[in-house]
Amino acid sequence: MLVILICGVRPNFMKIAPVMEALKKHTDFELLLVHTGQHYDDNLSKVFFEELGIPKPDINLGVGSGSHAWQAAEVMKKIEEIFIDRIPDLVIVVGDVNSTISCALTAKKLHIDVAHIEAGLRSHDRKMPEELNRIVVDHLSDYLFITSKKAGLNLFFEGIHGRNKVFFVGNVLIDTLLKNREKAEKSEILRTLNLEKQKYAVLTLHREGNVDLLDSLQKMTSILNAVQKKIDIVCPIHPRTMKKFKRNSIDVDFRLIYPLGYLDFINLMSNSKFVMTDSGGIQEETTVLGIPCLTLRDNTERPVTVTDGTNIVTFLDEKNILSNVDDILNGKFKTGKIPEKWDGKASERIAKILWDIYE
Ligand code: UD1
């Protein structure tokens, strides 16, 4: 039985790694890893394969960057040839990026089964390209693996349900975090960056909604410059954001560093006072690490990190952000608990379910 696993961007690699490892234990699954090439810089791609021990992709479509439609079309044209040539029994997609939707749609048009890992997340903000991707992929998929009961409810309200279709398995991103936590402790990144534990905050910023519109970007940087007056901020910068800073000649008072590898980044977060981010996965990782997280957005598709975890959605609201920063610095911020089934075993559950379905 041939299973094709799809990855394309940085956060996909941490999700695909434990799934591949778990599927490998069932020797009747022949696995083929396809990298779409949506992310291609070494520090957004290659480093994660090396650190997480993911086998080199069997095929790299080498698609690269472009507009949404261009990128999706390129992935679809190229992956269709692979699907027709190899005729997989199942295609596994993760997350909500352009590579995810393009491969899921192409597979279903060829009547190939699709499993979606991290299904059912909804920000209810249809201006986010990821939200559109999530909706379409979930409606196309045959098997949907969810990280929380709330995600199951979202699917139910859209008419997607069934004991043999939607499975609450936990979180594969957390499988990777728990597996690599000890290794990450050995990272020398604090020494390299000359940072002291708990004396800095980590920032990541790359969402289209935050960085592509000049107004939002200017407002965001002005708020972050105000936070910098209270605590040093370190920001591993995404190339999309760097380009916007340069193009618009935006000066920031906080420290920008190159994008980090997985182990260094986990170490950086674990030793920080708090994290500010617009990423999805980082909201989940901080919840498990017990580090306060301020999500610099108007919504989150991961509400379990707010109800159970250490996350707060701040909106682009200076007063709110600064008051939350004060709470953290004064030890008044909430603590959290680990969400149900985020126990490092999600990938094993997925492999077992797929094995039961296809054996
Ligand atoms: C993509 C995902 C986003 C995810 C993020 C993780 C979509 C719609 N967006 O956003 O959901 O959170 O990945 O990082 O799929 N670039 C480089 N080098 C690279 C890749 C990109 O310099 O290796 C630059 C290019 O200028 C490119 C821009 O970053 O145009 C954006 O890349 P793209 O893959 O389109 O979207 P991301 O912002 O990375």
Interval 137-157: pLDDT, tens: 999 999 999 999 999 999 999
Specify whether 133 is located in the same domain as 40.
yes
- Helices 68-86 and 98-109 sit at what angle, rounded to 10 degrees? 40
- pLDDT at residue 228, as a whole number: 98
pLDDT for 51-91, tens place per residue?
A: 999 999 999 999 999 999 999 999 999 999 999 999 999 99
Q: Does any ligand 1 atom lie closer than 6 A to the CB of residue 41?
A: yes
The mean pLDDT of 266-282, rounded to a whole number, is 98
Specify whether 285 is located in the same domain as 223.
yes
Catalytic residue from among 35, 39, 116, 206:
206
Specify whether 267 is located in the same domain as 315.
yes
Q: Does any ligand 1 atom lie closer than 6 A to the CB of residue 212?
A: no
Taking the CA of residue 58 as centre, how many other CA atoms within 13 Å lie in the half-sphere pointing to its CB? 13
Closest residue CA from atom 28 of ligand 1: 240
**Cα 181 from Cα 236, distance rounded (Å):** 19
**Residue 169, Cα to own-chain centre: how many angstroms?**
17
pLDDT for 89-135, tens place per residue?
A: 999 999 999 999 999 999 999 999 999 999 999 999 999 999 999 99
Active site residue 206: yes
Specify whether 231 is located in the same domain as 148.
no
Q: Is 336 among the domain residues?
A: no
pLDDT for 166-188, tens place per residue?
A: 999 999 999 999 999 999 999 99
The mean pLDDT of 333-359, rounded to a whole number, is 97
The mean pLDDT of 273-294, rounded to a whole number, is 98
Specify whether 69 is located in the same domain as 203.
no
Instruction: Quickly tell me which residue has 């709110």 as its tokens.
Output: 320
Q: Is 334 among the domain residues?
A: no
Angle at 35 between CA 179 and CA 47, to 5 degrees: 50
Closest residue CA from atom 14 of ligand 1: 10
Specify whether 304 is located in the same domain as 350.
no
- pLDDT at residue 155, as a whole number: 98
Choose one of 12, 206, 210, 244 to mutate for the ligand 1 pocket test, by most ligand atoms within 8 angstroms of C-beta: 206
Q: Is 176 among the domain residues?
A: no
Q: pLDDT band for position 359 (50/70/90)?
A: confident
Question: How many domains in the chain?
Answer: 2
Q: pTM (2 decimals)?
A: 0.98
The enclosing domain of 59 has a CATH number of 3.40.50.2000
Q: Is 278 among the domain residues?
A: yes
Residue 44 DSSP class: G
Q: Is 335 among the domain residues?
A: no
DSSP 286-324: HHHHT--EEE-SS--S-THHHHTSSEEE--S-HHHHHHH
CA of 211 to the centre of ligand 1 (A): 12
Choose one of 38, 74, 241 to mutate for the ligand 1 pocket test, by most ligand atoms within 8 angstroms of C-beta: 38
Q: Give, in order, the Cα–Cα distances in Å from 60 to each of 41, 47, 75, 244, 245.
A: 13, 16, 11, 28, 30
Q: Is 315 among the domain residues?
A: yes
Specify whether 159 is located in the same domain as 20.
yes
Q: Which residues constitute the domain of residue 148?
A: 2-170+342-358
Q: Does any ligand 1 atom lie closer than 6 A to the CB of residue 9?
A: yes
Specify whether 223 is located in the same domain as 102.
no
Q: Is 130 among the domain residues?
A: yes
Closest residue CA from atom 17 of ligand 1: 239
Q: Is 175 among the domain residues?
A: no
pLDDT for 204-250, tens place per residue?
A: 999 999 999 999 999 999 999 999 999 999 999 999 999 999 999 99
Specify whether 224 is located in the same domain as 142.
no
Specify whether 223 is located in the same domain as 312.
yes
CA of 156 to the centre of ligand 1 (A): 31
Specify whether 155 is located in the same domain as 187.
no
Q: Does any ligand 1 atom lie closer than 6 A to the CB of residue 40?
A: yes
Specify whether 118 is located in the same domain as 230.
no
